[in-house]
Amino acid sequence: MKPRTPMVGRKVIVKGGVYHITQRAPGRELLFLENRDYLKFLSLLKKMKKEFNLSIICFSLLPNHLHIFLKIKEVNLDKAMKNLFQSYAQYFNTKYQRKGHVFCGVYRASFCDRDDYLITASLYIHLNAYKAKLTESPFNYKWHSLDVYVKGVKTTFIDKGLVLNTLDFNLEKAKKIYRKLIEEACDIECESLIENKYALKSFYGKLLDRFKEKTISKVTSFVPVFELEEQIKKFVSKERVFAIEEKSALRYLIEQLRSRGFSVSEIASKLDYNRCHVYSLLSNKTV
């Protein structure tokens, strides 16, 4: 069975949902002509975050398109995006004494419901400028949020914890792991999500293949969330685990989930087991 991949298609707006937003300029037009345009958009993004009670996970602004990864706390995504894009369009048209559309139609929003998509989408977004050959290194690009993830940036409106906490609850360790993931993913070919709405699926598959090859695992020395998701699938709804090897693998999986902050109840829900079953495995009892 093929691994389940991130959702694309029509917008599914839910309270507490996490979304990958993309928007672009029409044709060969540009969204940003100078540094002050980027700064203005970031100012509006920060204002929108506060006004609509959103969490901005990461972003990347390119000359002709943009990516925003965010979490909504209310069912107000459309209102928030309308406010953001209309405000910037008004600024842009006034400044450059122009009329017409600044953005190309309705924004796209891909719904995220899994930890491995959190990492996939954030890596894709932070690699976007590098893949577009706008910078020689993803770490040198000015108009994305990667510095917040790999450096000691203290004052920011970016909520990096949602992604970094899936890697390690020690922030400094998580930053080092994330840097390694970026470095390893630099040579993974990825298409433009603006041109192909399934580009992130393709990137996810290639990233998953890299994990299976153990290349990234060796570099980061941790069990990646991608592998945990695959292991969870093997045990979901399995009524009994008889083989000693299987019990050991299941116990290790539970320990890995516990180390990432999941409660016993949450783990039981993920595996579709009862809590006693999980407690028994953790205490090394025969199940």
Span 117-168, pLDDT tens digits:
788 889 999 999 999 999 999 999 999 999 999 997 877 899 999 898 888 7
H or E segment and range at residue 265 = helix 264-271
Task: Output the CA torsion 279→281→283→285 (10° steps).
Answer: 120
Q: C-alpha distances in angstroms, 52 versus 44, 71, 80, 83, 118?
A: 12, 11, 6, 10, 21
* Spans of all domains in the chain: 18-220, 236-282
Residue 108 three-state SS: strand
Block residue for tokens 């924004």: 107
Residue 13, judged by CB atoms within 10 A of its CB (0-12, 13-18, 19+), counts as middle
> What pLDDT score does 265 carry?
78
The 10s digit of each residue's pLDDT in 41-67 is 999 999 999 999 999 999 999 999 999
Average pLDDT, the chain: 81
Pick the CATH number of 18-220 from 1.10.1060.10, 1.10.150.130, 3.40.50.720, 3.30.70.1290: 3.30.70.1290
- pLDDT tens figures, 228-281: 666 777 777 555 555 666 777 777 778 777 766 677 777 787 777 777 777 777
Sheet with strand 65-72: strands edge to edge: 54-61, 65-72, 18-24, 108-112
Closest CA to 245 of 255, 253, 236, 257: 253
Place of tokens 């609509």: 52
d(CA 24, CA 11): 17
